[in-house]
Amino acid sequence: MINRIPVSFLFSRLRNPTSLPKAWGVRQMSKVVSYAGKPITNADPAPPTDKISIILNGDSGAGGAACQADSFEYLNPRLTKISAGYHVQFQIHHLGNAYDAPFGSKTRSQILGHTKALIREGTHTYGASRVAIACNTASTTDGPDLRDWIEKNVPGTEVFSIIKPTAKELYSKGSYFSGRREGNEKHIAVLSTLATAKSGLYPLELAGLHCEKWGAHCITVVKSNIDVPESPRVFEGQMPIPRNSPEEARLLKQVADNSSRYPVLVVHTYAPPDWVSLLEGKTPGKTDADLTQEVMGDMAKFFKQIGADLPKVHVLGLCCTHYPLVKDQIKLAFSARENQKYGVKVTLTETMEIVSQGKIVAEQLLLPSIQSALERGDFPRREQMAWNQQIKLMSWTTGYKNDPSSIQSLRVVKSLFEKCGGELAQTRCEIVSPYSTVK
């Protein structure tokens, strides 16, 4: 028989739930009492809001946007997963100074000023806390002067340059040839701007990696279409050998007749004179066909410079963010039909891998920085996963005097952005440069 419980009893007990039996499963609600001048100590804290983390690629013109669209393929799934588990919203912006492009034909002081201007604009206007200097030419200024300026003017901003991680990626590709005569040689080809080639930073970084792997007696030889008297042509280990010295002659002879006892790295560098200008519409009257012809002609000159070593080249680095925009034309230069014109017997699929820099920016610069931020606790964890997060991808390329739709680089970048869901609606046409050179 079930005992009947008076309704009045229940109401009286519900006013004081602690008097009900525990078996009834009634959870006691905590009381919140506030007093004037005293904080509420037992109230639930306000839920954390999402922080907006802005990542910026800075470059001359539209090259950095192409690099960004390429890196987005690798960043998007990883950043989406992070933002689903942490209170953070990621935005990836490109900021390009097309007015002053190309940087590669300017002096070092001019390039340094434009680099500072991009960093300042990205941090002050867009609020970026991470800036990738996607431009190889701008990255040649990454030294004490730039780092001191960053510390004084944009403290707390993480700024990454692209040359060192790219050199590491290039050196890791390919392998040494098997065979009696060529067993100790490795060949790397680098396409860059004039200023990047003059800096000598790619051969220097590659020589350092070569020395790190093989020791102080390995040899690095630099062959370039840009002869810079102050830059070494030969390294022993990481030590530059004086030009026209007996030691240089001895090492070059060892390389020429394959008599070196130690591993040899040969770095072939080439600086096309007009690719960036053509891509940025800085040469009026030139068409897409003219650009293709220019690329094919320069590749023929590069092949002739490399000469008999061309079949030994395992990797070609596109060490300017604009150059992947003509990747199809570069591949065409390696086709069997085109090779007949140059008198070389090599095809791209048999010997060479082309390396562009989008994946390098994503995996070696930005993702490690974001992972460090997670480990520091910069972004609180979510109580529940939020899989509806989206990564915002935008491009701000300024300074075009002509209609951007007529410029090949922007047309290619637009198709890349549309493919990965980004926006180019913010692309502006301005006759006056928005970035003044920073002292």
Q: What are the boundaries of each domain within the chain?
A: 51-162+359-379+387-419, 165-356
3-state DSSP call for residue 136?
Answer: helix
CATH 3.40.50.1860 fits 51-162+359-379+387-419, yes or no: yes
Q: Give pTM, 2 decimals.
A: 0.82
Task: Kindly write down the DSSP assignment for every residue of 28-95, as one continuous string.
Answer: PPPP----TTS--SSSPPPPPPPEEEEEEEEESTTHHHHHHHHHHHHHHHHHHHHHHHBSEEEEEEEE
Cα distances (angstroms) measured from residue 30 to each of 17, 41, 44, 424: 11, 12, 11, 53
Q: How far separated are the first and last CA of the chain, in Å rounded?
A: 94
Tell the burial category of 9 from Cβ atoms under 10 Å away from its Cβ (0-12, 13-18, 19+): exposed
**Token pair listed for 98:** 């097309």
Walk across the sheet containing 88-97 and list its strands. Answer: 158-161, 130-133, 51-59, 88-97, 392-398
pLDDT tens for residues 198-255? 999 999 999 999 999 999 999 999 999 998 888 899 999 999 999 999 999 999 999 9
Question: How confident is the prediction along the chain (439 residues), in pLDDT tens digits per residue?
Answer: 445 555 454 444 444 444 434 333 333 333 333 334 444 455 556 667 889 998 888 888 878 888 888 888 888 889 999 999 999 999 888 888 888 888 988 999 999 999 998 999 889 888 899 999 989 999 999 999 999 999 999 998 999 999 999 999 999 987 665 433 445 889 999 999 999 999 999 999 999 999 999 999 999 999 999 988 888 999 999 999 999 999 999 999 999 988 888 899 999 999 999 899 888 888 877 888 888 889 988 998 898 899 888 888 889 999 999 999 898 888 888 775 655 665 555 555 556 789 999 999 999 999 999 999 999 999 999 999 988 888 887 777 666 655 555 666 667 766 666 666 655 444 443 323 334 445 4
| pLDDT value of position 34 | 38
- DSSP 8-state symbol, 19: G
Dist. CA 7–CA 231, nearest whole Å: 97
CA distance 409 to 424: 13
* Other CB atoms within 10 A of residue 426 CB: 12
Residue 434: predicted pLDDT: 38
In CATH, the number for domain 165-356 is 3.40.50.1860
Phi, psi of 394 (to 5 degrees): -140, 155
Q: What pLDDT was estimated at residue 346?
A: 55
